[in-house]
Amino acid sequence: MDRKSRTAEDGWWGPGVAPHAEEDVSLRPFEVRTSEEELEDLYSRMDRTRPVPSVEDSRFHYGFNSQHLQEVVSYWRRDFDWRRQVHGLNRYPHFRTRIEGIDVHYVHVKPRRVAEGAPALPIILVHGWPGSFYEFYRLIPLLTEPENPEEPVFEVVCPSIPGYGFSEAPHKRGFDSVCAANIFQKLMKRLGFQKFFAHGGDWGWQITTNMAQLDPGSVRGLHLSFAPPSKPGLLVALSLMFGRLFPTLFGFTEADRRLLYPCTEKLLLESMKESGYLHIQATKPDTAGRALNDSPVGLAAYILEKFSTWTNQNFRDLEDGGLTRKFSLDDLLTNVMIYWTSGCITSSMRFYKENFGKGLDQPHSRIPVNVPTGFACFPNDVMHSPKLWVKQKYRNLIRYTPMPRGGHFAAMEEPQLMAEDIQEFTKTVEKMIKL
C-alpha cells in the first residue's frame, strides 16, 4: 500500500518515514526460540537479586510477599524448564506479518476435522495486560476440537498486541486501542476472513469493541469477559445511588447487589488498592519499565501480583497469594518469560499511556456497538458490570451469563466455562442469521 492510497484509519508505526514501496504482506512462519546465552544471562541476574524482607504478617497486602517471591524464584531457577515450555508454545503454528510498518505476531490454529456442510467459524482472541497470547492455550483446543460433535468448530487466530510478546513495538507515539483494532481488522482480512467472531478481555475488550465499531459488517459477533462503562452516564450513576434500595428498578440481581455494595468499599477503596500500576503506566511507563526490563525477579513480582489479586481479591490475605490455587507455576512463569525474552514490558506498559493520555472522552467511547454481543460475567473480576451497564454500550446484547466462578484472567483460569459460553453465544448468533 503506498502512502497516497492510505485511508484516514491507516497509520505508519515503523521507524522513520513510511516508504513509497508497497508493504510486504507475506505471512511468515515464526518459531519461539531460546538460547544458552539467553538462559545464562537470566540465571546470572536471578542469582544477583537482593531480597527485601516483608513486613511481618503482611501477606499480599503490600504487594508480592517477599518471602514467597524467593520461593517462586527458587523454583524458577532450579526446576522450571523453559526449553520444555518453548516446545509447548510451538505446538501451535505461529506467524508474523508486517502491517503498517511493524511485524505482528499471531497464533493460527485450524481444526483437524470439520463436519461436511458446517465450515469452521473464524474467531480472533485478544489478550490484555499483563497477559499474552498464552492465556488462551487451554481454551484453543476446546474451540478447535470440541468433544461434542454438536458444538460449533472454530478456526482460531490469537495475535499479540503490538508492543506485547513477539509483536513489534510501535516506533511512534499515539498507538492506542483503535490503532490496534485497525491492525487486527487488516490481519483477519489478510488471512481471508471477511466476517468473523471476536473475543476479548482486559485490553482485548477495548480492542475488539473498537473492531466492531470500525467495521461492524466484518464482526459477526462480539464476545467479552470484561466490559467496564467506557463513558458512565446518568443511568449508571442513578443505578449506583439507588440500586441497593430499588434493585428491580434497575434490573439488579442479588449477585449484582453483593458485588457492587457497599459502594464506598467496592468502587472507591478497592480501586485505590488495585490501580497504582495504572497511574504509573498511564503517565511515566518508561521509568518503571526500564527497571523491570533489567530485573527478572522484579518483572515476575510485578506481573504475578496481578495474577493473585485480579484472580481473587481475597488472595491478598494468603501468604502465597493463592497463585497456585488457580494456575500452575509453570504456566505463570511461561507468561513472565514471554515478557522477559521479548523484552516487551516497557512497550506493553506504554499502551496505557497512549490510551489514557488522550483523555477519557474519546469519540469511540460515545459510539454504541450494534453487532450481536455476548458477555460472560465472572464474579471475581476487578470490576463488576451489571447487565444494565453493559447494555448502555452494547445495544444488541443477546447473551449475558453470570458465571459461577472465575476472575480477570478467565480464559486461562476457567477455559471450560469460557469455551461453553462462546459456543452458546455463537450458536445463538448463527440461528439469528439463518432466520
- Residues assigned a catalytic role: 202, 352, 408
- Tell me if 66 sits within 8 A of 14, measured CB to CB: no
Half-sphere exposure for 269 (CA within 13 Å, toward CB): 8
- Tell me if 159 sits within 8 A of 191, measured CB to CB: no
Q: Residue 124's CB: how many other CB atoms inside 10 A?
A: 25
Closest to 197 (Cα-Cα) out of 149, 227, 155: 155
Torsion of CA 206, 364, 420, 148, to 10 degrees: -110
- Round to whole Å and give the CA distance between 332 and 319: 17
- Round to whole Å and give the CA distance between 199 and 141: 16
Please count the residues of the chain: 435
Closest to 212 (Cα-Cα) out of 432, 393, 355: 393
Long-range Cβ contact pairs of 144-151 (< 8 A, separation 24 or more): 144/109, 144/110, 144/111, 144/112, 144/120, 145/111, 145/112, 145/113, 146/419, 146/423, 149/115, 151/423
Sheet strand arrangement including 28-30: 28-30, 94-99, 102-109, 154-159, 121-126, 196-200, 219-224, 373-377, 397-402
- Round to whole Å and give the CA distance between 48 and 250: 56
Specify the residue for cell string 510501535. 170
- Round to whole Å and give the CA distance between 137 and 142: 10
- Tell me if 301 sits within 8 A of 94, measured CB to CB: no
